[in-house]
């Protein structure tokens, strides 16, 4: 989400005639886009912001802007703490900087924040719903990004069309809870309606969406993933904990059994679907047995990717007010390691089955002297070729696999 916000603001600055600086020392404008989902992310943002103070003192004309989740609805405390910051912007609110620069640089800024205009990547993000209404007990997002607000279908389709004209081939529709898209819009709109609409955009090759919540993944969404040719068979469905009591205290709203049933349903309806997940170990009061329920879920479901994190208290959340972060840090680290080791084995096995297979890859660019792209299941694939360019769809034969990426060779001539 932050990456998408940065791209959109970057695009607006580009429209104003500004160009990126290679170093923050040379920059006339510095925008710090902050993530505060974890306390150490906020500490890092504060450290970076503090380090900018001397250069602002040296050059008072330098503009420093702070954006993202660190800027909540009320900025007065931040203004006192960081008086050298010129502009504070809550998530998705770019206008304060655009207006400030418009006044300072005397540029006509009308219409500067809209769809991306700077050359976007082959694969890019489109935020479709902002905020979250769920209030999981460990999470700060609803307090910082506010309640759910969906963008309308026409606006998103138009943005997609504009992006495709600029060379984009793949979009990822973004939301903190993307499956609840549309519930606040008139006319019974949901994510599957949007997927149908975006699937019609000519020239677009692939569609993905992030992040799903098990309680909002309606059958119509699963059917859209199965039925629409551009929607990739790839779902990120966080389960967070495998133990029902921990799920209850996390306020996730589903049980271990319900989650497993949903996974079974998705796998029955969508052939070759890849499923990734997010989980937390060491949440308040988590016992060895409760942790082993999480480990069991990882072993049983066999996810394609697991984003795991050790719990840390986030001030302002329900858990910080009502629960005790009582699992020893060493134990948390051990549990994390156990999950990561297990997952590495699982994904090594899943990926090994792809050896010798032909995979359709969207070429994204070059890295470490090789071309790279992803298959429909979001697996990273490296390969060599002299005759291709970014944005092409090619067939690659997988020759080598590892838990982290695949390597292959061109199987078919690229499309002209």
Closest alpha carbon to 350 in 272, 282, 283: 272
Which residues, in sequence order, are bridge partners of residue 89?
A: 67
By the rule CB under 6 A, 169 interacts with ligand SF4: no
User: How far from 295 is each of 237, 282, 298, 344, CA to CA, in Å?
Assistant: 16, 12, 5, 13
By the rule CB under 6 A, 280 interacts with ligand SF4: no
Closest alpha carbon to 392 in 368, 415, 359, 360: 415
**213, 305, 332, 376: which one contacts ligand SF4 (CB under 6 A)?**
213
By the rule CB under 6 A, 404 interacts with ligand SF4: no
Please, what is the minimum distance in Å from the beta carbon of residue 213 to ligand SF4? 5
Nearer to ligand SF4, 97 or 132 (CB): 132
With tokens 């997002």, the residue in question is 141
What is the x/- site pattern for ligand SF4, positions 94-133, by CB under 6 A?
--------------------------------------x-
Q: Taking the CB of residue 259, how many other CB atoms lie within 10 A of it?
A: 23
Nearer to ligand SF4, 29 or 140 (CB): 140
Nearer to ligand SF4, 127 or 142 (CB): 142
Nearer to ligand SF4, 87 or 280 (CB): 280
Classify burial at 4, counting beta carbons within 10 Å of its beta carbon; exposed 0-12, middle 13-18, buried 19 or more: middle
**11, 15, 177, 308: which one contacts ligand SF4 (CB under 6 A)?**
177
User: How far from 391 is each of 60, 117, 364, CA to CA, in Å?
Assistant: 43, 18, 6
Nearer to ligand SF4, 120 or 238 (CB): 238
* Contact predicate 236/277, CB 8 Å: yes
By the rule CB under 6 A, 178 interacts with ligand SF4: no
By the rule CB under 6 A, 142 interacts with ligand SF4: yes
* Contact predicate 263/294, CB 8 Å: no
**49, 70, 129, 136: which one contacts ligand SF4 (CB under 6 A)?**
136
Nearer to ligand SF4, 173 or 381 (CB): 173
Which residues, in sequence order, are bridge partners of residue 277?
A: 306
By the rule CB under 6 A, 377 interacts with ligand SF4: no
Q: Could you check whether the bond before residue 211 is cis, i.e. omega within 30 degrees of 0?
A: yes
Nearer to ligand SF4, 142 or 373 (CB): 142
Interface residue list for ligand SF4 (CB under 6 A) = 132, 134-136, 139, 141-142, 176-177, 213
């Amino acid at each position: 989400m932050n990456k998408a916000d940065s791209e959109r603001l970057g695009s607006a600055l580009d429209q104003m005639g500004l160009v990126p600086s290679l170093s923050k020392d040379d920059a006339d404008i510095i925008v710090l886009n902050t993530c505060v989902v974890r306390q150490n992310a906020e500490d890092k943002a504060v450290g970076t912001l503090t380090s900018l103070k001397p250069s602002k003192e040296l050059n008072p004309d330098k503009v420093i802007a702070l954006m993202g989740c660190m800027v909540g609805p009320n900025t007065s405390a931040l203004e006192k703490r960081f008086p050298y910051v010129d502009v504070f912007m809550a998530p998705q609110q770019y206008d304060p900087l655009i207006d400030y620069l418009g006044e300072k640089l005397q540029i006509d800024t009308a219409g500067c924040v809209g769809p991306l205009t700077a050359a976007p990547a082959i694969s890019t993000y489109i935020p479709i719903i902002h905020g979250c209404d769920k209030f999981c007990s460990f999470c700060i997002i609803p307090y910082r990004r506010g309640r759910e607000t969906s963008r309308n279908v026409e606006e998103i389709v138009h943005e997609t069309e504009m992006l495709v004209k600029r060379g984009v081939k793949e979009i990822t529709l973004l939301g903190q809870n993307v499956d609840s898209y549309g519930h606040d819009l008139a006319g019974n709109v949901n994510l599957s309606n949007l997927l149908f609409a975006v699937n019609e955009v000519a020239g677009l090759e692939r569609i993905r969406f992030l992040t799903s919540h098990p309680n909002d993944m309606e059958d119509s969404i699963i059917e859209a993933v199965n039925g629409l040719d551009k929607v990739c068979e790839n779902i990120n469905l966080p389960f967070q904990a495998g133990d029902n009591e921990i799920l209850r205290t996390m306020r996730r709203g589903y049980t271990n059994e319900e989650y497993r049933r949903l996974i079974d349903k998705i796998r029955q309806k969508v052939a070759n679907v890849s499923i990734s997940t997010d989980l937390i170990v060491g949440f308040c009061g988590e016992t060895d047995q409760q942790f082993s329920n999480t480990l069991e879920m990882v072993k049983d479901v066999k996810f394609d990717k697991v984003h795991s994190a050790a719990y840390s208290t986030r001030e302002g959340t329900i858990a910080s007010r009502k629960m005790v972060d009582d699992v020893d840090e060493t134990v948390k680290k051990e549990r994390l390691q156990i999950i990561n080791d297990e997952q590495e084995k699982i994904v090594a096995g899943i990926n090994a089955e792809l050896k010798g297979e032909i995979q359709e890859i969207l070429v994204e660019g070059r890295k470490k002297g090789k071309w790279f792209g992803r298959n429909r299941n979001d697996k990273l694939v490296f390969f060599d070729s002299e005759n291709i360019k970014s944005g092409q769809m090619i067939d690659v034969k997988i020759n080598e696999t590892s838990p982290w990426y695949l390597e292959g060779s061109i199987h078919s001539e690229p499309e002209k």
